[in-house]
């Protein structure tokens, strides 16, 4: 249980890091949506390993096959199954962890929970699973385009290096122009050098991804439990290595007074209701209010490092886990398309759910 | 949609702030659990309005009636319906917002989404709904006691006043000894005075609640989307006024290196596998690892303030919304039992789900 | 688990026969639907006990209270909770079954499944629960009226007495003119006398209810598992005492050849696609095709009879269960509104789901 | 929506008749269940086309590939994806129905519902989808073996040819000894000849499949909506061409009196509670009572026949649909493993759900 996401636009992912492949079944996508194979591939390429010196060197083409649900370039309303085969597994790199637990990985918890685990490459707990999310997210993005919704994520912090500007001060179209995916080229270069240094030490470091959604209409999100930001939070926290989520004014907002924090309404020249500030992050009462939606996500340093670490084995004996396998020294550059994909999946779901709010 | 939470231990709340009452139907609670009416009442009393000078002055006894699912003091395995009637509504305080939108409230988004709204006291968007969660959470807590699980939340920040100690340095049994629910009596008194000052200004301020869960066994949480921290995050973000969630090392952890952040395993004298540090916050791969689970939640300043504010009405005309109604100057003292309740509901669900992990 | 029905228009019932009351929470009803209290009451009155000599003599007004989700006569899009209090419990009539199992009742299976049961009046397994369904069904009927959909059920068989006419040969407006709810007044009188005779013997007998749905558009129902007839079948089989369900040509259709059974399409003078015959029962590939939908439901004789019966007690000892309590000698007259309610709930759900089939 | 079945043991099928393939993702299967590839293949072989003269001549090996969720011969608790590629599509046989509607098929309803359809071989509405169910059902059967549960279906009627014996009078081990899957060899031969005659006429005929489940313990099934027989009914009605479902005494039971129909309890020499008769069909109050569970399913004559038929095209013009494509003259022989598979899926789900009934 736990491999399904969404209530209407519903995705179910499957697959392990070193099994036959990974994939996703998307149910609930309406009929008639353009299925843009090139766009899906381009999104997968943004996430794929081996894209630069500061990402894992595993080589995966991450080409996908559509197994169902698409006919003559359009979705048909039936389940869309997408398969991405694994190619560059090096399972022997992982034989040492068949019985050892890597610190801060999921080896120990999976073993205890299930009594069995596919230890090769981390099995189901590997971030390789997120490729399936990106494929589904690409379709969600296509669906959202019709509603004029745009999603853009970018790296705003790596270790202690922070981008000290808000999204409105940045040119987000520059995000894809560098390997770090930071829209400020100068800071991006600093971040690149920093990560590359960490890589050479055989260590890893954390970071922060910001995400901005523009063009969402009023009304997306559902009262009480399925608030828009609650689902966005769950979706982001479900991404490997995420430790925190905040939207709008976030943790900083707690120091403000209500009279400072409240977003006054006004009507603009086009008769559209807007707010003068946006501490709400585009969401009020869990429902989008037509302003920009923005949030931040904290990623911990990747647990795989090229250093020996103290641990135990399945019998509880002391074990020294060796630093092996390929890994990302910092996960945030590749996390950008994953964050966007999950945001798209959440929004597509609420877009469809909102069609049922009134007759 | 959106008023249901959980997959096995499933709660469905209903009710508006000024309607007949609020309530909850709990489905999926196993048969044979003790239904402790006194404990449920005591939890409701911790949350109820009017409990001190720094909370809203609405007077609600918040007494509940059990409508079903309990027989001779035990749950029977059938749905448990609990009803809490509203008593101290002052709907006329809200007549001015029948057509006006209060800034940073849900008035505007509900109106646009549904084309109709019960404006009295905020209707469904009122935090009064959380009383139903607290009732259900009290039952979840009882269920968890059997598994030796304990949940304790407390206030760690009010505005700029921070409690600069980790939970392990505090005596959490002192939390309930003051009106702020801060376990450090000195800081609690400062916070009280600070909130009381804000109250006199007719303003509000935000805060942070921390929560610690001890005694959870290894194995709670599900891979991929329903990670334990992802569900905890969603549950917390679904509470009114929450803007952020972080667990374990959280946002601060992004500055660490992997070699600093990883939690080394060792086996203690009783043969139990432990970690030497706990940056993981008790969760690895989305599954509890037997260590303490801890997280932090940011609450914004309450949107209701006793000041005139600029806004618009339903026709888009400029409107000055008057400061009326009763409200909390700072929501975190009353949020403590709500946070615990939602944590209990999430954990009870995973406790039951984990019974199905292996045969 | 198991007390929730529907995916979009979702009902969750609660309550026991002799507890405080029974009720239902309806989630997913769009905002703006007329909430017609009189109509809901009239539907409850059609189902309520004590309505004639041939139904149980338990006296319940079955008046309901709306607890939430309705504002100024309209649904608001939030959960609608309805409560019907129990009034005429005679729990002492049931003290003898606290430890004995009534044959063909749910006493034994509940006890084994849960280890505890509210034996009074059958507890949760009592058909009293269906009042909650009728209340929810009345709202679903209101919702369907907008789409021009009409649902009519009637009694077509009692014991061996069969109404040998198809629905198209009957005037269904006569159904409510007699206590049996058979639209043929002559056969209705025979059935009444028959049931009354059974009643005097302290025995019970089975029957069949037919249901016809007119005005449903093309497109309701979902492929593969959630076929329209599959959900109708589940909904009907979930009603107490139901043993069988068939739609369209049903069990009789198996003897036909494909060339006889296939329903040829033609276009009528209004350009509407129709079928010349309707063996399909208005459903093809699990989706409504715009023709009349019709089905039949078999009800067994009620298990409660006024005779001593051989059984066992909770320790497995032989026990003679005495015939006590009040009961219906034949359940089908009161089943008619329940069948309609469940059909309405299923159709309302598919009506809403179909809004998502294409953009 | 509609391609997912089950609450705990949950299957999601995908695929079209003439697309890349069909498949299933199984979520919720506990870890540690033996994954018996040979058994799964043997079940698929029982269902596959081309197995005898009286089934469709489409040639499909129906070999499957496991994409995930299995490690070293055991399930790991993560989603199990199974893919069966299509091989013998003859899509050109279907070009004539790109714009025409075959009578009593799903062409018209899919087109109207979705505005687009994959017409090749019926697309998603083809019974080819049931191969995915059989694969999942084989795993469910393995899971049930541990609980000692056995499921056996057989053909009891073809057209007007009825097997006039109850299951207890038959040797069900003979079912697989003939192409019709009727356990009485003499009747089986009559049925074979009858079907073969129909086939030569280019026509089709209906039939009935019976199913018997032995060894199920007390307690499977959930109160109110998810009654065991209600889910069995939905599962069976979701199979292509099914028109009716009855269990236990079924439609015949309506003529009995309660005093005849009630199943008296007694305790056998081993202390097990049994019933002297089994009109209940092994289910009381929606929950298994430890007796044999049995039910019957009506299948209509297959809609594909080798004859010209009157119909309309997408513009509503008169069209003569030609008899083309390959088909089964009578679906029941191949339906036997499908019925068993769906029964196994339903039971596996309730087996797991029942683990949560009490602590």
CB contact under 8 A, D254 and C206: yes
> Which pLDDT value is given to residue B102?
95
Beta strands in chain A (DSSP E): 4-5, 10-15, 21-27, 64-66, 70-71, 74-75, 80-85, 150-158, 161-162, 207-214, 242-247, 265-267, 273-275, 283-284, 287-288, 293-299, 309-312, 318-321
Residue D340 has pLDDT above 80, yes or no: yes
> Which pLDDT value is given to residue C89?
73
Q: CA of D297, closest CA in chain C: separation in Å? A: 8
CB contact under 8 A, D77 and A116: yes
Q: Give the three-state DSSP class for A257.
A: strand
| Residue A57 CB coordination number (10 Å) | 11
Q: Which residues of chain D does A94 touch, with a Cβ-Cβ cutoff of 8 Å?
A: none
Residue in C14, C119, C124 to test binding to B, most B beta-carbons within 10 Å: C14
Dump pLDDT digits (tens) for D258-306. 999 999 999 999 999 999 999 999 999 999 999 999 999 999 999 999 9
| Residue A36 CB coordination number (10 Å) | 16
What whole-number distance in Å separates Cα of residue B319 and Cα of residue B307?
Answer: 13
A173, exposed or middle or buried, with CB in 10 Å at 0-12, 13-18, 19+?
exposed
Mean pLDDT over D150-160 rounds to 98
Which residues of C fall below an 8 Å CB-CB distance to B?
1, 3-4, 8, 10, 12-16, 19-23, 25, 27-28, 31-32, 65-69, 71-72, 74, 76-81, 83, 113-118, 123-124
Angle at the Cα of C80 from the Cα atoms of C75 and C82, rounded to 5 degrees: 125
Task: Tell me the residue length of chain B.
Answer: 359
Dump pLDDT digits (tens) for B245-260. 999 999 999 999 999 9
> Which pLDDT value is given to residue C68?
98
CB contact under 8 A, D355 and B355: yes
pLDDT tens across the length of chain A (359 residues) = 899 999 999 999 999 999 999 999 999 999 999 999 999 999 999 999 888 888 887 788 899 999 999 999 999 999 999 999 998 777 677 788 899 999 999 999 999 999 999 999 899 999 999 999 999 999 999 999 989 999 999 999 999 999 999 999 999 999 999 999 999 999 999 999 999 999 999 999 999 999 999 999 999 999 999 999 999 999 999 999 999 999 999 999 999 999 999 999 999 999 999 999 999 999 999 999 999 999 999 999 999 999 999 999 999 999 999 887 677 899 999 999 999 999 999 999 999 999 999 98
DSSP secondary structure letters along C191-239: HHHHHHHHHHTT--B-EEEEEEEES--BT-S-STTS-HHHHHHHHHHTS
Residue D297 phi/psi, 5° resolution? -135, 130
CB contact under 8 A, B258 and A204: yes
> Which pLDDT value is given to residue C35?
97
Average pLDDT, chain D: 95
User: Between D25, D66, D69, which is nearest A25 by CB?
Assistant: D25
A153, exposed or middle or buried, with CB in 10 Å at 0-12, 13-18, 19+?
buried
- Looking up tokens 């439609």 gives D251
Which residue in chain A is spatially nearest to C32 when comparing CA positions?
A358
For residues C7-21, one letter each, b for 16 or more C-beta atoms within 10 angstroms of the residue's C-beta and e for the rest, the string is bbbbbbbbbbbbbbb
CB contact under 8 A, B224 and A307: no
Sign of CA dihedral C108, C112, C113, C118: positive
Residue in D123, D223, D228 to test binding to C, most C beta-carbons within 10 Å: D223
User: Between D108, D254, D281, which is nearest C273 by CB?
Assistant: D108
The pair of three-digit structure tokens given for residue B285, joined into one six-digit string: 């791969």
Whether D103 contacts D311, CB under 8 Å: yes
> Which pLDDT value is given to residue D283?
98
Which helix (H) or strand (E) segment is B11 a member of? strand B10-15
Per-residue pLDDT band at B24 (split at 50, 70, 90): very high
User: Between D125, D257, D288, which is nearest C223 by CB?
Assistant: D125
Q: Which residues of chain D does B32 touch, with a Cβ-Cβ cutoff of 8 Å?
A: 358-359
Q: Which residues of chain C does D300 touch, with a Cβ-Cβ cutoff of 8 Å?
A: 248-249, 253-254, 256, 261, 279
CB contact under 8 A, B116 and C74: yes
Residue C325 has pLDDT above 90, yes or no: no
ipTM above 0.90, yes or no: yes
Q: Give the three-state DSSP class for B28.
A: coil
- Cα C256 vs. chain centroid, distance in angstroms? 30
Q: Which residues of chain B does A243 touch, with a Cβ-Cβ cutoff of 8 Å?
A: 229, 246-251, 253-254, 281
Dump pLDDT digits (tens) for B286-340. 999 999 999 999 999 999 999 999 999 999 999 999 887 677 899 999 999 999 9
User: Between D14, D74, D114, which is nearest A68 by CB?
Assistant: D14
Mean pLDDT over C227-252 rounds to 98
Whether C237 contacts D189, CB under 8 Å: no
Report the interhelical angle of D332-354 vs D228-237 (nearest 10°). 150
Which residue segments constitute the domains of chain A, with CATH numbers given? Answer: 4-354 (3.60.150.10)
What whole-number distance in Å separates Cα of residue B236 and Cα of residue B84?
Answer: 22
C359, exposed or middle or buried, with CB in 10 Å at 0-12, 13-18, 19+?
middle
CB contact under 8 A, C358 and A223: no
Which 8-state DSSP code applies to residue B359?
Answer: -
DSSP secondary structure letters along B45-104: HHH-TTSSTTS--------EEE-SSEETTEE-SS-EEEEEE-----GGGGGGGSSB--TT
Q: Give the three-state DSSP class for A167.
A: helix
CB contact under 8 A, A118 and D71: yes
Whether D338 contacts D139, CB under 8 Å: no
Q: CA of B72, closest CA in chain A: separation in Å? A: 32
Mean pLDDT over D78-83 rounds to 98
> Which pLDDT value is given to residue B106?
96
What whole-number distance in Å separates Cα of residue C70 and Cα of residue D48?
Answer: 54
Residue D221 has pLDDT above 90, yes or no: yes
Q: HSE of D184 in the Cβ direction (CA atoms, 13 Å)?
A: 17
Chain B: partners with 3+ C-beta pairs within 8 Å = A, C, D
Per-residue pLDDT band at C182 (split at 50, 70, 90): very high
Q: Cβ neighbours of residue A316 under 8 Å, at least 6 residues apart?
A: B267, B271, B273
Helices (H), chain C: 37-47, 107-114, 130-146, 185-200, 228-237, 258-261, 332-354
What whole-number distance in Å separates Cα of residue B65 and Cα of residue B84?
Answer: 7
CB contact under 8 A, D113 and A77: yes
Which 8-state DSSP code applies to residue C300?
Answer: P
Whether D103 contacts D27, CB under 8 Å: no
Chain A: partners with 3+ C-beta pairs within 8 Å = B, C, D
Which residue in chain C is spatially nearest to A78 when comparing CA positions?
C223
What whole-number distance in Å separates Cα of residue A297 and Cα of residue A237?
Answer: 8
What whole-number distance in Å separates Cα of residue C3 and Cα of residue B294?
Answer: 34
Q: Which residues of chain A does B224 touch, with a Cβ-Cβ cutoff of 8 Å?
A: 2-3, 13, 124, 129, 238
CB contact under 8 A, A114 and D31: yes
CB contact under 8 A, B358 and D28: no
Number of H helices, E strands in chain A: 7, 18
What whole-number distance in Å separates Cα of residue C186 and Cα of residue C178?
Answer: 10
CB contact under 8 A, B113 and A207: no
CB contact under 8 A, C358 and A146: no
DSSP secondary structure letters along A202-248: T--B-EEEEEEEE-PPBT-S-STTS-HHHHHHHHHHTSTTEEEEEET
CB contact under 8 A, A219 and B299: no
| Residue D18 CB coordination number (10 Å) | 21
Which residue in chain A is spatially nearest to D9 when comparing CA positions?
A1
Q: Which residues of chain B does A13 touch, with a Cβ-Cβ cutoff of 8 Å?
A: 224
Q: CA of B143, closest CA in chain D: separation in Å? A: 9
Angle at the Cα of D322 from the Cα atoms of A79 and C268, rounded to 5 degrees: 80
Q: Which of A80-94, C180-194, C229-243, D236-250 has the lowest mean pLDDT?
A: A80-94
């Amino acid at each position: 249980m736990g491999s399904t996401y969404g209530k209407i636009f519903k995705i179910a992912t499957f697959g392990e890091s070193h099994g036959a492949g990974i994939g996703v079944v998307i149910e609930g996508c309406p009929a008639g949506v353009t299925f843009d194979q090139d766009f899906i591939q381009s999104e997968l390429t943004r996430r794929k390993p081996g894209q630069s010196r500061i990402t894992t060197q595993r080589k995966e083409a991450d080409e996908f096959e559509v197994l169902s649900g698409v006919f003559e370039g359009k979705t048909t309303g039936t389940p869309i199954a997408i398969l991405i085969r694994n190619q560059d597994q090096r399972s022997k790199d992982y034989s040492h962890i068949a019985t050892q637990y890597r610190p801060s990985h999921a080896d120990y918890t999976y073993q205890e929970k299930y009594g069995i685990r596919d230890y090769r490459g981390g099995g189901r707990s590997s971030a390789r699973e997120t490729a399936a999310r990106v494929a589904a997210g690409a379709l969600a993005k296509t669906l959202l385009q019709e509603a004029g919704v745009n999603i853009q994520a970018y790296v705003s912090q790596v270790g202690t290096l922070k981008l000290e500007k808000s999204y409105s001060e940045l040119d987000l179209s520059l995000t894809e122009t560098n390997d770090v995916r930071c829209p400020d080229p100068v800071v991006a270069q600093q971040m690149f050098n920093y990560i590359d240094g960490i890589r050479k030490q055989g260590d890893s470091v954390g970071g922060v991804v910001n995400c901005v959604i523009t063009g969402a209409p009023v009304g997306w999100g559902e009262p009480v439990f399925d608030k828009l930001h609650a689902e966005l939070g769950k979706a982001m926290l479900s991404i490997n290595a995420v430790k925190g989520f905040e939207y709008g004014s976030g943790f900083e907002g707690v120091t403000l007074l209500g009279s400072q924090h409240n977003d006054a309404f006004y009507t603009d020249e086009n008769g559209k209701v807007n707010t003068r500030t946006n501490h709400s992050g585009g969401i009020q009462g869990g429902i989008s209010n037509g302003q920009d939606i923005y949030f931040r996500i904290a990623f911990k340093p990747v647990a795989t490092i090229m250093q020996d670490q103290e641990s135990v084995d399945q019998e509880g004996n002391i074990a020294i886990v060796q630093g092996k396998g390929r890994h990302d020294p910092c996960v945030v550059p590749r996390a950008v398309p994953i964050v966007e994909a999950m945001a798209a999946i959440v929004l597509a779901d609420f877009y469809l759910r909102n069609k049922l709010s009134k007759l």
